[in-house]
């Protein structure tokens, strides 16, 4: 959401030449634009689809290091305010301080986060490649506070040798990103962030999802149409918070630099709602994934409409302006047609309450439910 829609990086039409101005970037070809936008759509769909599937097993996991973070209605209502303050703060930082030093700090921060996220993403796939006789040892990283009966766990992370191999491979991508800022390395981290977000961030019910999407709908529209803050931050922020794809790839190859972009928020926010609908489908025990596929198609429609409108008006578009009505409206129409609106809005994530007695980290979730 930091950059609300795919942006055309080419020069505006009809610009008159002037001697002092630098050479204008040649406009993207229709083929290059089609390849860039098509690739962005595909990259957006992958973490939503696979993240939603992984969210189902994540909800049933008893491993404290893989427990999902539950978003309550109170969290959802506060999120647009927190996001607005963060966005405005970043904008002011870029205006006051040197962009070079800010991006250096951000690069180091996202370097660490990106390695951890990518390692977690590739771990299931890599586990299938290890031979059966691979010497796999278990490890546990435990930080506690206090002593005796007042001892409290701060960090309790379990991992094994296979995870360390994944961490090493991810570190190679991290160094590549840190040194070159190459768009492929950026996208690997961006895809990992998106998939982890969809997998590990869980809405507790459909009403909470509607509150979150509705609030961010207003947030996105205001900061894109009302000000230049979001577009400025997105273009200044050298961090893997957006997926990018060059529109001049066919002409310049991997060294292309005329990028279309899509903010990760436009993937993760609708994605966690789509993942919720998949878990709702499973709870119905009808062996169908009607609401998941409906919302998935709705996302494709909304993102395609965003790109079409942006191409027509040659202006950055708040993607949630089109994604939110589609992702909420399509499944709601299906629920109305099937007479399952009551079931949809009464559905509550049941995995977290069931695991409270046996999981030491579940107390905050129970407290969140009381706040609601």
Q: Using alpha carbons, select from 145, 62, 88, 156 the residue that is nearest to residue 357.
A: 62
Q: Using alpha carbons, select from 272, 267, 275, 271 the residue that is nearest to residue 292.
A: 275
Burial status of residue 212 (CB atoms within 10 A of its CB: 0-12, 13-18, 19 or more): buried
- Cα separation, 237 vs 232, in Å, equals 8
Which token pair is 344? Answer: 């949809």
* pLDDT of amino acid 66: 66
* pLDDT of amino acid 149: 77
The answer for residues whose C-beta is within 8 angstroms of residue 177's C-beta and 6 or more apart is 107, 111, 114, 185, 186, 188, 189, 240
* pLDDT of amino acid 350: 59
* pLDDT of amino acid 64: 55
Instruction: Give the CA distances from residue 165 to residues 66, 138, 156, 189, 224, in Å, rounded to whole numbers and listed in that order.
Output: 18, 13, 20, 17, 42
- DSSP-derived 3-state class of residue 6: coil
At 140, give phi and psi (nearest 5°): -140, 125
Q: Using alpha carbons, select from 266, 242, 241 the residue that is nearest to residue 106.
A: 241
Structural contact between residues 63 and 358, judged by C-beta atoms closer than 8 angstroms = no
**Residue the block writes with tokens 């960090």:** 155
- DSSP-derived 3-state class of residue 142: strand
Instruction: Give 2's strand partners.
Output: none
Identify the sign of the CA torsion 27, 31, 32, 34: positive
pTM: 0.83
The answer for residues whose C-beta is within 8 angstroms of residue 14's C-beta and 6 or more apart is none
The answer for residues whose C-beta is within 8 angstroms of residue 352's C-beta and 6 or more apart is 59, 68, 70, 202, 204, 362, 365, 369
* Digitized pLDDT (tens) for each residue of the chain, 372 residues in all: 444 444 433 333 333 344 444 456 677 788 999 999 999 999 999 999 999 999 998 877 656 556 788 999 999 999 999 999 999 998 998 888 888 888 888 889 999 999 999 999 999 888 888 888 888 888 888 888 888 778 888 887 788 898 899 999 999 999 999 998 899 999 999 999 999 999 999 999 999 999 999 999 999 999 988 888 888 887 788 889 899 999 989 988 888 888 888 989 999 999 999 999 999 999 998 888 999 999 999 999 999 999 999 888 887 788 999 999 999 999 999 999 999 999 999 999 854 433 333 334 444 444 444 444
Instruction: Give the CA distances from residue 318 to residues 47, 173, 225, in Å, rounded to whole numbers and listed in that order.
Output: 20, 30, 8
- Cα separation, 74 vs 77, in Å, equals 5
Which token pair is 106? Answer: 């951000």
Q: Are strands 259-263 and 201-203 parallel, antiparallel or unpaired?
A: unpaired
- Cα separation, 330 vs 333, in Å, equals 5
Would you name the residues annotated as active-site residues?
Answer: 220, 266
Which token pair is 176? Answer: 């590549």
At 137, give phi and psi (nearest 5°): -115, 145
The answer for residues whose C-beta is within 8 angstroms of residue 299's C-beta and 6 or more apart is 44, 45, 48, 270, 274, 323, 326, 327
């Amino acid at each position: 959401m930091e950059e609300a829609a795919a942006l055309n990086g080419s020069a505006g039409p009809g610009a008159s030449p002037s001697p002092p101005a630098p050479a204008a970037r040649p406009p993207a070809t229709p083929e290059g634009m089609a390849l860039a936008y098509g690739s962005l759509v595909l990259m957006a769909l992958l973490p939503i689809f696979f993240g939603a599937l992984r969210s189902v097993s994540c909800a049933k996991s008893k491993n404290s290091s893989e427990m999902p973070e539950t978003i309550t209605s109170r969290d959802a209502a506060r999120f647009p305010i927190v996001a607005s303050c963060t966005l405005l703060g970043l904008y002011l930082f870029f205006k006051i301080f040197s962009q070079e030093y800010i991006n250096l700090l951000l690069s180091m921060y996202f370097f660490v986060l990106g390695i951890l996220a990518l390692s977690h993403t590739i771990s299931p796939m890599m586990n299938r490649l290890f031979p059966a006789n691979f010497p796999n040892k278990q490890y546990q990283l435990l930080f506690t506070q206090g002593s005796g009966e007042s001892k409290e766990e701060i960090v309790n992370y379990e991992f094994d040798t296979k995870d360390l191999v994944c961490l090493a491979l991810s570190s190679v991508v991290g160094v590549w990103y840190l040194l070159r800022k190459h768009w492929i390395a950026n996208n690997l981290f961006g895809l990992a962030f998106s998939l982890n977000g969809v997998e590990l961030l869980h809405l507790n019910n459909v009403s909470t999802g509607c509150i979150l999407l509705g609030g961010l709908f207003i947030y996105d529209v205001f900061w894109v149409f009302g000000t230049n803050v979001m577009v400025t931050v997105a273009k200044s922020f050298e961090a893997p918070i957006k997926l990018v794809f060059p529109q001049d790839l066919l002409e310049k190859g991997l060294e292309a630099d005329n990028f279309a972009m899509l903010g990760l928020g436009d993937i993760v926010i609708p994605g966690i709602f789509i993942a919720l609908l998949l878990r709702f489908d499973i709870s119905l025990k009808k062996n169908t994934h009607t609401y998941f596929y409906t919302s998935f198609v709705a996302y494709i429609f909304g993102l395609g409409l965003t790109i079409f409108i942006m191409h027509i008006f040659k202006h950055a578009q708040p993607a949630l302006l089109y994604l939110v009505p589609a992702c909420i409206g399509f499944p709601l129409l299906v629920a109305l047609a099937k007479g399952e609106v009551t079931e949809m809005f009464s559905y509550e994530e049941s995995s977290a309450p069931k695991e409270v007695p046996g999981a030491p980290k579940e107390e905050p979730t129970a407290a969140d439910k009381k706040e609601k």
